[in-house]
């Protein structure tokens, strides 16, 4: 179906979505705290005629907005959470906190763009379905806490994607391409040690140090790294050291561990080894141990059929044209990156990026047979296990800029970021519209997924009974 059916709407209406994106950049709310960001999306969706179901999966900031009726049901996924400690002045070429962002957070992964482009795509598809008299249902999923909270996994466990025919999303990046990547599955858990307090000078023999237990666990995990598969990762953050007084045997200590591996089964095996290390540390120090699963997400399943469809739309649309001012700013930002960062960014492309220009001004080729390995994780993975899923990436930042950095935050309201966001909206909307009108293509995508699931059925990595780690005030 012609791209013009959605393109005209996006061209005429994009300004209010650029404003929405900039507003959410300023809100910069952490996962499960995105009250203003979710409310802004919801208010606009209701004004656009969507039926909105709020607070889904027991998460106050999760929602599903729906328009149309009948099948197929095409989902477009949006995110809007920020990262802590990344408050940054817009367009600045050095690291400095922003006066606009009072909470110390920042959109260092571009989720303000991600959610807003998905929102715009869903509205454009709704308009096209109504004008062309096409039957079907378009849904916009407001998905909180992708950054370590894995909101979509909880939403998947709640069955919110069970009747979806296909899902579409994107991610802001430094190139224009299909996200033909294999991500890592992940499990996060708190390890809390409880000992016995005592005077460290007068009666240390009466104490049992939880801090000693935690340190021994961390040492054991460091030794484990030599004996796990190369693509696995084990990270941790110490969340409680028991206090700051050295003359006290610390009675409490805890850490949050993030364990990653290529498949859920690999994660589960590695997780149990980490748990055994913690149990051994507790035994060595005569402390008690509590293990609490925080969250998890599955590895991403690529869909060749949908990859090829979205690639065709992205190629047809092509890269944006940039103004001289945008090119000069990107070149200045490009010079703040390191050669290693530029080399890392080139690894995800089918050919290394050796062009001296700071902006990726083309569409990368798609090689479905040679996926790249993304050593990060995404809760889009769980959605991809229950419905055919596809993602693109568009250039919103100077090439080589690292995600989760002050540079991404600084570029988040730039003209380049806005143009990348609009290109993503156009690409997603065009892909969705094709699926509404091409039943054979949609059937092929679903057959591909079912064949994959026949070899390994989906099991949600978050156990029943584990609830989303919501803020206490929620």
The pLDDT assigned to 474 comes to: 46
Residue found by looking up tokens 């079907």 in the block: 136
pLDDT digit string, tens, across residues 119-163: 999 999 999 999 999 999 999 999 999 998 999 999 999 999 999
Determine contact, residues 129/138, Cβ cutoff 8 Å.
yes
Cβ atoms < 10 Å from Cβ of 406: 23
Determine contact, residues 108/409, Cβ cutoff 8 Å.
yes
The pLDDT assigned to 216 comes to: 98
pLDDT(472) > 80:
no
Percent of the chain scored above 70 by pLDDT? 99
Strand partners, 236: 257
The pLDDT assigned to 23 comes to: 98
Average pLDDT of span 351-368: 85
The pLDDT assigned to 413 comes to: 98
Q: What global pTM score does this model have?
A: 0.95
Domain residue ranges in the chain: 4-183+300-455, 185-297
Please give the backbone phi and psi of residue 314, each rounded to the nearest 5 degrees, phi first: -65, -40
Q: How far, in Å, CA of 358 to CA of 443, rounded?
A: 40
Determine contact, residues 241/211, Cβ cutoff 8 Å.
yes
Average pLDDT of span 335-364: 84
The pLDDT assigned to 473 comes to: 56
Cβ atoms < 10 Å from Cβ of 458: 16
CA angle 134, 137, 141 (to 5 degrees): 145
pLDDT digit string, tens, across residues 244-265: 999 999 999 999 999 999 999 9
CB-count exposure of residue 226 (10 Å: 0-12, 13-18, 19+): exposed
pLDDT(356) > 80:
no
133 CA to centre of own chain = 34
Percent of the chain scored above 90 by pLDDT? 89
Cβ atoms < 10 Å from Cβ of 451: 9
The pLDDT assigned to 341 comes to: 84
Determine contact, residues 64/44, Cβ cutoff 8 Å.
no
Q: Which fold, 185-297? A: Alpha-Beta Plaits (3.30.70)
Q: How far, in Å, CA of 449 to CA of 392, rounded?
A: 19
CB-count exposure of residue 229 (10 Å: 0-12, 13-18, 19+): exposed
Determine contact, residues 118/428, Cβ cutoff 8 Å.
yes
* Mean model confidence pLDDT for the chain: 95
Closest listed residue to residue 468, CA positions, set 157, 257, 80, 154 = 154
Q: Which fold, 4-183+300-455? A: Aminopeptidase (3.40.630)
pLDDT digit string, tens, across residues 75-129: 999 999 999 999 999 999 999 999 888 899 999 999 999 999 999 999 999 999 9
Average pLDDT of span 415-441: 97
Please give the backbone phi and psi of residue 118, each rounded to the nearest 5 degrees, phi first: -65, -40
pLDDT digit string, tens, across residues 266-310: 999 999 999 999 999 999 999 999 999 999 999 999 999 999 999
Strand partners, 279: none
The pLDDT assigned to 5 comes to: 86
């Amino acid at each position: 179906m012609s791209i013009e059916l959605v393109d005209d709407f996006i061209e005429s209406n994009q300004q209010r979505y650029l404003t929405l994106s900039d507003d959410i950049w300023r809100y910069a709310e952490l996962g499960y705290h995105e009250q203003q960001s979710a409310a802004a999306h919801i208010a606009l969706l209701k004004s656009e005629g969507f039926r909105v179901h709020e607070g889904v999966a027991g998460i106050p900031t999760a929602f599903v907005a729906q328009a149309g009726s009948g099948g197929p049901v095409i989902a477009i996924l949006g995110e809007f959470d920020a990262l802590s400690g990344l408050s940054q002045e817009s367009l600045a070429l050095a690291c400095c906190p922003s006066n606009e962002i009072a909470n110390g957070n920042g959109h260092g992964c571009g989720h303000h763009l991600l959610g807003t482009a998905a929102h715009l795509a869903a509205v454009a598809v709704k308009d096209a379905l109504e004008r062309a008299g096409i039957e079907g249902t378009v849904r916009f999923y407001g998905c909180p806490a992708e950054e370590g909270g894995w909101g979509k996994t909880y939403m998947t466990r709640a069955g919110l994607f069970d009747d979806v025919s296909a899902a579409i999303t994107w991610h802001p990046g430094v190139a224009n391409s299909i996200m033909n990547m294999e991500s890592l599955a992940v499990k996060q858990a708190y390890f809390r040690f409880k000992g016995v307090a005592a005077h460290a000078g007068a009666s240390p023999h009466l104490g049992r140090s939880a801090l000693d237990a935690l340190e021994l666990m961390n040492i054991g995990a460091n030794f484990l790294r030599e004996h796990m598969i190369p693509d696995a990762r084990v990270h941790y953050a110490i969340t409680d050291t028991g206090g700051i007084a050295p003359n006290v045997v610390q009675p409490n200590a805890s850490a949050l561990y993030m364990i990653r591996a290529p498949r859920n089964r690999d994660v589960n095996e590695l997780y149990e080894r980490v748990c055994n290390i913690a149990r051994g540390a507790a035994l060595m120090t005569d402390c008690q141990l509590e293990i609490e699963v925080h969250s998890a997400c599955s590895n991403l399943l690529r869909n060749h059929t949908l990859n090829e469809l979205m690639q065709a739309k992205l190629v047809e649309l092509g890269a944006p044209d940039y103004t001289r001012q945008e090119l000069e700013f990107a070149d200045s930002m490009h010079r703040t990156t390191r050669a290693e960062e530029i080399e890392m960014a080139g690894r995800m492309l089918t050919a290394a990026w050796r062009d001296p220009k700071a902006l990726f001004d083309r569409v990368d080729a798609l090689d479905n047979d040679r996926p790249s390995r993304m050593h990060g994780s995404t809760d889009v993975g769980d959605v991809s296990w229950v419905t055919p899923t596809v993602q693109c990436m568009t250039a919103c930042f100077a090439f080589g800029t690292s995600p989760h950095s002050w540079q991404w935050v600084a570029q988040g309201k730039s003209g380049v970021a806005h143009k990348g966001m609009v290109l993503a909206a156009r690409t997603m909307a065009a892909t969705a519209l094709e699926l509404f009108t091409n039943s054979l293509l949609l059937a092929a995508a679903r057959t591909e997924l079912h064949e994959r699931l026949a070899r390994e059925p989906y099991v949600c990595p978050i156990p029943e009974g584990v609830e989303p780690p919501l803020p206490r005030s929620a």
